[in-house]
């Protein structure tokens, strides 16, 4: 049991940079470029952790404290969601609304840090981020609420265990809810068509604008936390909507196969994100509410079909 819990805690921060590396590598191949190694994000984090920091004299405790809080919350989130086993259903932090509020807390403190030093770019990015967050949270909650109605529980581990036992013919509303979840996932993780994670163009950047003032160790924590958040959403998509192969017992013999299947599902979703980002352009900011409203409508339809 203790070994399974340790794996549950360390898995997200251990492999999240690899997911980012895989997405970047696939995008490079699709764009006829060689691209960096899939392990380049680990090297980038190592380099940033060994660099000095430059902190604005106008920065308050919020700017200095936010990276530690944001990274810590992603670790807590990673330990509170089903990754390869459903045996932690008694975890009080695994409630659907608690997880969504933790995600909102990440957004809140990142936006605060962006505006704290008074940078024009930081204020611009924070304003855009909070606008998107206000429009995204409803779709995110309702996409997972459809699963909660189906499982008759808001505990994520219980949801994963229940959905894994459903018949194939019960998956029509779950597929609709998954479509809604994918839209919110792209918005929450600053991916296309909502944001370009590789841009530094002031007219389009959102996430990058909020972290322009960071450097060194704090920037490493912010980047690592962003990778953790991306993997957390991939894990939620893989193990709530398609929880096949997840271990339902505390038997250590079941863990290796469950881990392998989890990694395969994460790889498939990473490839999906990379192909999607290489196939579409970034939307204009004022077109994004329409897309997020589509997510909300899909969730409502899925809930109506379930109840």
Structure confidence at residue 248 (pLDDT): 81
**pLDDT reading at 5 higher than 90:** no
Check if the beta carbon of residue 103 is closer than 8 Å to that of residue 188: yes
The tokens describing 134, both together, are: 């206000």
- pLDDT per residue as tens digits for the range 260-272: 999 999 999 999 9
How far is the first Cα of the chain from the last one, in angstroms, to the nearest whole number?
Answer: 36
pLDDT class for 107, splitting at 50, 70, 90? very high
What does the pLDDT look like over 140-156, one tens digit per residue? 999 999 999 999 999 99
Where along the chain do its domains lie?
A: 2-306
- Residues 83 and 16: their CA atoms lie apart, in Å, by 13
Mean of per-residue pLDDT scores for the chain: 90
Three-class SS of residue 95?
strand
Give Cα separations from 26 to 38, 104, 238, 261 (angstroms): 9, 30, 20, 20
pTM for the structure as a whole: 0.95
Cα–Cα distance between 208 and 122 in angstroms, integer?
9
> What is the 3-state secondary structure of 190-222?
CCCCCCCCCCCCCCCCCHHHHCCCCCHHHHHHH
pLDDT band at 307 (very low <50, low <70, confident <90, very high): confident
In this structure, is the dihedral angle defined by the CA atoms of residues 105, 107, 109 and 112, taken in order, positive or negative? negative
């Amino acid at each position: 049991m203790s070994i399974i819990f340790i794996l549950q805690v360390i898995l997200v921060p251990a492999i999240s940079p690899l997911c980012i590396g895989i997405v970047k590598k696939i995008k490079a191949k699709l764009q006829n470029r060689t691209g960096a190694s899939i392990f380049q994000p680990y090297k980038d984090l190592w380099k940033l952790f060994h660099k000095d920091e430059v902190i604005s004299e106008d920065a308050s405790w919020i700017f200095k404290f936010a990276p530690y809080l944001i990274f810590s919350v992603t670790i807590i989130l990673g330990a509170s969601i089903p990754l390869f086993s459903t045996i932690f259903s008694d975890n009080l932090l695994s409630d659907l609304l608690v997880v969504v509020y933790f995600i909102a807390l990440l957004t809140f403190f990142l936006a605060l840090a962006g505006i704290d030093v008074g940078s024009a770019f930081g204020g611009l990015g924070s304003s855009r981020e909070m606008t998107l967050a206000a429009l995204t949270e409803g779709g995110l909650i309702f996409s997972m609420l459809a699963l909660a109605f189906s499982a008759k529980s808001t505990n994520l581990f219980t949801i994963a265990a229940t959905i894994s036992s459903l018949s194939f013919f019960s998956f029509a509303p779950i597929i609709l809810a998954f479509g809604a979840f994918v839209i919110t996932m792209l918005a929450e993780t600053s991916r296309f068509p909502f944001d370009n994670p590789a841009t530094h163009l002031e007219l389009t950047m959102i996430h990058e604008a909020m972290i322009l003032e960071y450097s060194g160790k704090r920037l490493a924590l912010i980047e690592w936390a962003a990778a953790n958040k991306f993997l957390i959403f991939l894990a939620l998509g893989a193990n709530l909507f398609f929880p096949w192969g997840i271990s339902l017992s505390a038997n250590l013999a079941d863990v290796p196969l469950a881990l392998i299947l989890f990694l395969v599902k994460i790889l498939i979703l990473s490839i999906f994100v990379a192909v999607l980002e290489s196939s579409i352009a970034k939307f204009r900011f004022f077109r994004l509410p329409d897309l997020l409203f589509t997510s909300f409508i899909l969730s409502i339809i899925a809930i109506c079909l379930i109840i």
